[in-house]
Amino acid sequence: MEGLRWRTIGAAAGVILALVWVMPNLVHFGENSWWPSKQKMNYGLDIQGGLHLVMGVDVDGVVKESTTRLMASMKADLAKDNIAVTDITSDKPEAGEVIVTFPAGDKAKVTKFMSDKYGTTLQEVGSTDTSITSRYFDAYLNEYKNRVIQQAIETIRNRIDEFGVAEPSISQQGSNRILVQLPGMADAEKAKQLINTTAKLDFMIVSHEKTPQELQALVAEAEKAGNYKMADMKYSDYVTRINNDLKGKLPEKSVLYFEKSANAASMEMGAIPYLLRTDTDLNGSALDDAFVGYDQYGSPQVSLHFNTAGANKFADLTGNNVGKQMAIVLDKIVKSAPSIRDRIAGGQAVITLGGGRDRNGMMDEAKMISTALRAGALPAALEQLEERRVGPTLGADSINKAKMGAYIGAALIVLFMLIYYKGMGMVANISLAINILGVFALLTSFGATLTLPGIAAIALTVGFAVDANVLINERIKEELALGHSLKVAIAEGYNRAMSAIIDSNVTTAATAVVLLYFGTGPVRGFAVNLLIGIVTTLFANVFVSKVIVDQLVYKFNVKKLSI
């Protein structure tokens, strides 16, 4: 009897805890309410609607950047080994192609250098007496591109997590696309802004090989020849085109970016050109933290803290360029270009936002920049290819049909159990109600998301929960038919049915684990709900039902229980 007492307390505690977790879904509790649980169940995109985005990833742009860094590194290594080369260029940087030209007679030395230093990443695809053309191995290039996509997915996920979206679905589509689904997104525009803000941060030394007046003249000439203006194009497209049009007119290893004038309302109304060196190799990946701070006048700014490696790079970069300007570039926009007065150690810097706006606008921009940088710099620029605002209508219709199906199915099951198993059928029905209560309680407490496949998993849970009670009841009937007393029949019925119940649930759980591990999106949702259903079935339809029956037999001395 002592064991029954503790089992009863355990069963009652489980049911009460489930009620505590479920209630916020049924009754609104304010933030200051005494109720211990405030969390509500999350609903998937197919039920409550939300934002559906398809983003294109500029993988080729990342490979080009990698090739540029590779050429700079290669030149430094060749100089360190005292191997003279004429130049290192690339006709196909998006494929990781590098062309090394050298004086006649030095081919053997360069070939050996390339084999020793870059034999695992570069393969020779052509050569002459004065040049060697190498390219990334296909396997290395494919792996690198896939790594870029996965890194972009993780970065977007980090940003969305900071934004507070429950259970976002972010997955790869094809070789260069990412699908982003944000269920129940209340502020779609802000979410899009956060995702689309590539937050690609670069620290670049300002080149003075061209004066500002010369740069303005070159820009005006290119715009007139091509018949376009910044105001008529996306800024990123404009920057790409202007740099392509000025190719050959700008110094090598330099790029033209713009800063918005402090008093200008928009970039196109006051763009200041900067000629920047592209070989500094210090970007947002070196950041450890980014947060909103304030300058001496109380205006918002973004404070940056570098990690150890980034701090060393930043110190070397500033130390080697004392007296020059260093541009802080965010998404190809020059945010500020302070002069370097001395070597800056300690790994700290700031991004100033300029004036010409109200304080709230500056604060919003500072928060957006710091959030994007803190969540991680995207390895590649993103282009929005598709946007859909998914309304909850489809989900609501499906929910209503699912409810109707669930009500009809539940009613049929309840009637069947009552008619066929009578008193034990009533026990099974009570256990089934506790089972479903437990499913919704666990979904709420875990912060899991209920989707339409999840509803299907709950329906399946009802099926194998009833199956467990059918096995138990049939075993009890067999024991009663052998002439055993009700107490013995119940004890033996539960004991003998347990092995079959455990076997069936273990095999179902194994399938669910495989689906959870290999599946994505809706498949994972189905698996999670299935696993939760297995746990609640063992608790409610086995443990709780046994407690109820034992209470009837041992506590209330019921001598006969119809079955």
Cβ partners under 8 Å of residue 153, min gap 6? 170, 171, 172, 178
What SS3 state is found at 199?
A: coil
Just give the CATH number of 197-388. 3.30.1360.200
The answer on pLDDT for 256 being more than 80 is yes
Task: Read off the pLDDT of each residue in 429-441 and give the average, rounded to a whole number.
Answer: 93
Cβ partners under 8 Å of residue 510, min gap 6? none
Task: Read off the pLDDT of each residue in 450-467 and give the average, rounded to a whole number.
Answer: 84
Binning pLDDT at 50, 70 and 90, where does residue 385 land?
confident
Binning pLDDT at 50, 70 and 90, where does residue 494 land?
very high
Spatial distance between the Cα atoms of 127 and 133, rounded to a whole number of angstroms = 6
261-270, 307-316, 469-478: which range is least confident on average? 261-270
Predicted confidence at residue 373, as pLDDT, reads: 60
Q: Which of 494, 505, 484 is nearest to 427 (CA)?
A: 494
Predicted confidence at residue 283, as pLDDT, reads: 79
Predicted confidence at residue 161, as pLDDT, reads: 63
Predicted confidence at residue 158, as pLDDT, reads: 65
Predicted confidence at residue 255, as pLDDT, reads: 92
310-314, 449-453, 554-558: which range is least confident on average? 449-453
Predicted confidence at residue 277, as pLDDT, reads: 92
Percentage of residues of the chain with pLDDT beyond 70: 89
Tell me which range, 160-174, 270-284, 464-478, is most confidently predicted by mean pLDDT.
Answer: 464-478
Question: Would you state the structure tokens that stand for residue 149, as one six-digit string?
Answer: 């996509």
Binning pLDDT at 50, 70 and 90, where does residue 50 land?
confident
Q: Give the residues across from 43 on adjacent strands.
A: 450
Tell me which range, 32-46, 151-165, 275-289, 536-550, is most confidently predicted by mean pLDDT.
Answer: 536-550
What are the sequence ranges of the domains in the chain? 2-15+392-555, 59-141, 197-388
Tell me which range, 174-183, 217-226, 383-392, is most confidently predicted by mean pLDDT.
Answer: 217-226
Where in 420-494 does DSSP place strands (E)? 449-450
> Would you say 555 and 433 are in contact if contact means Cβ atoms under 8 Å apart?
no
Q: What is the pLDDT of residues 176-209, one digit of tens each?
A: 888 888 777 656 666 777 676 656 778 899 998 8
The answer on pLDDT for 396 being more than 80 is no
* Terminal alpha carbon distance of the chain: 24
Binning pLDDT at 50, 70 and 90, where does residue 395 land?
low
- What is the amino acid identity at position 191? A
Sign of CA dihedral 41, 44, 46, 48: positive
Binning pLDDT at 50, 70 and 90, where does residue 506 land?
very high
pTM, full prediction: 0.54
Predicted confidence at residue 428, as pLDDT, reads: 92
Binning pLDDT at 50, 70 and 90, where does residue 16 land?
very high
The answer on pLDDT for 392 being more than 70 is no
What SS3 state is found at 473?
A: helix
Percentage of residues of the chain with pLDDT beyond 90: 20
> Phi and psi for 187 in degrees, rounded to 5?
-120, 80
Spatial distance between the Cα atoms of 284 and 294, rounded to a whole number of angstroms = 21
- What is the amino acid identity at position 402? A
Predicted confidence at residue 18, as pLDDT, reads: 92
Q: What is the pLDDT of residues 322-377, one digit of tens each?
A: 888 888 887 788 877 878 877 878 778 776 766 555 677 777 777 766 765 665 55
Q: What is the pLDDT of residues 280-302, one digit of tens each?
A: 878 777 777 777 888 777 788 87
Look at the block and give the residue holding tokens 């956060």. Answer: 194
Task: Give the chain's mean pLDDT.
Answer: 82
CATH superfamily to which 2-15+392-555 belongs: Multidrug efflux transporter AcrB transmembrane domain (1.20.1640.10)
Distances (CA, A) of 350 to 81, 98, 354, 361: 38, 36, 12, 18
